[in-house]
């Protein structure tokens, strides 16, 4: 099976531009699968892993509630943030500088056909990565994502997850707070869960800044182990433009 991964680091990229790129890659995989079915072919479908850092943006999943965004459109402009309703699962979340966002765009038929297992593997990737920094991260019953001090009054979320899947092809993904300005979370009810705090890796470690590249390297390492995948190319592509070679 095609357990090969094309890894693309987009640097800092506008949310909408990245969403459009995801959709293009997603639709391309679906088209290959459709052609295979209609013509009894066996063309291998590609798998992608996009790393990106977004400028300030709030996104609302299809099952979310607009009331969980606590500021007006005018106020969004004053804090230089954007807002989008999007087609992933989950409620509202925030993306911004200092946060690692990962978008695995996979044909799960190359790996396993189980969305629940897919989400748990993404969580496990984060948990194993944070363990390398001495943090005991966990899942919280009924709340997708990765948390610290679950089951205590000090429970706090460090990574949000929200995905979309169609015909076993995935898009969207995870957002891990590394050096994130946590003040932006005050403008929303994170993931629609009241009374729960958020945190970041640098806050937990008591450091001004953590190397984002080091965290990405660890995330990718654990992803490859969990999914038994290989990077198709050893080069991670850094670009300020949408990489047309993937379209």
Feature table: binding site for substrate: 88-95, 160-162, 173-175
Q: Where are the beta strands (DSSP E) in the chain?
A: 4-12, 48-53, 57-60, 82-85, 92-95, 99-105, 137-140, 143-148, 156-166, 169-177, 197-198, 230-231, 237-238
For residues 134 and 201, what is the distance between their CA atoms, to the nearest angstrom?
A: 11
For residues 157 and 162, what is the distance between their CA atoms, to the nearest angstrom?
A: 14
For residues 186 and 68, what is the distance between their CA atoms, to the nearest angstrom?
A: 11
Sequence-ordered alpha helix ranges (H) in 103-150: 115-131
Q: Which residues are catalytic?
A: 191
End-to-end Cα spacing for the chain:
22
Q: Specify the DSSP class assigned to residue 27.
A: H
- The answer to whether residues 112 and 122 touch, using CB atoms and an 8 Å cutoff, is no
Q: What residues form the annotated binding site?
A: 88-95, 160-162, 173-175
For residues 126 and 178, what is the distance between their CA atoms, to the nearest angstrom?
A: 12
Sequence-ordered alpha helix ranges (H) in 145-211: 201-205
């Amino acid at each position: 099976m095609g357990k090969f991964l094309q890894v693309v680091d987009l640097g800092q990229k506008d949310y909408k531009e990245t969403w459009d790129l995801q959709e293009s890659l997603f639709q391309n995989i679906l088209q290959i699968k459709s052609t295979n079915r209609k013509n009894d072919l066996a063309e291998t479908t590609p798998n992608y892993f996009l790393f990106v850092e977004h400028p300030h943006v709030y996104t609302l999943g299809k099952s979310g509630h607009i009331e969980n965004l606590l500021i007006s459109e005018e106020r969004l402009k004053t804090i230089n943030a954007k807002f989008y309703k999007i087609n992933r699962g989950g409620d509202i979340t925030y993306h911004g500088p200092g946060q690692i966002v990962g978008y695995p765009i996979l044909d799960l038929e190359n790996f396993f056909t189980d969305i629940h297992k897919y989400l748990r593997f993404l969580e496990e990737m984060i948990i194993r990565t944070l363990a390398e920094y001495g943090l005991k991260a966990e899942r919280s019953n009924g709340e997708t994502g990765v948390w610290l001090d679950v089951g205590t009054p000090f429970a706090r979320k460090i990574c949000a997850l929200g995905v979309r899947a169609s015909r076993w092809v995935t898009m969207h993904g995870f957002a891990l707070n590394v050096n994130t300005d946590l003040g932006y979370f005050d403008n929303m009810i994170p993931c629609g869960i009241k009374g729960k705090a958020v945190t970041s890796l640098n806050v937990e470690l008591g450091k001004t800044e953590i190397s984002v590249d080091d965290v990405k390297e660890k995330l990718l390492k654990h992803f490859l182990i969990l999914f038994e995948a290989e990077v198709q190319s050893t080069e991670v592509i850094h670009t300020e433009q949408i990489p047309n070679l993937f379209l």
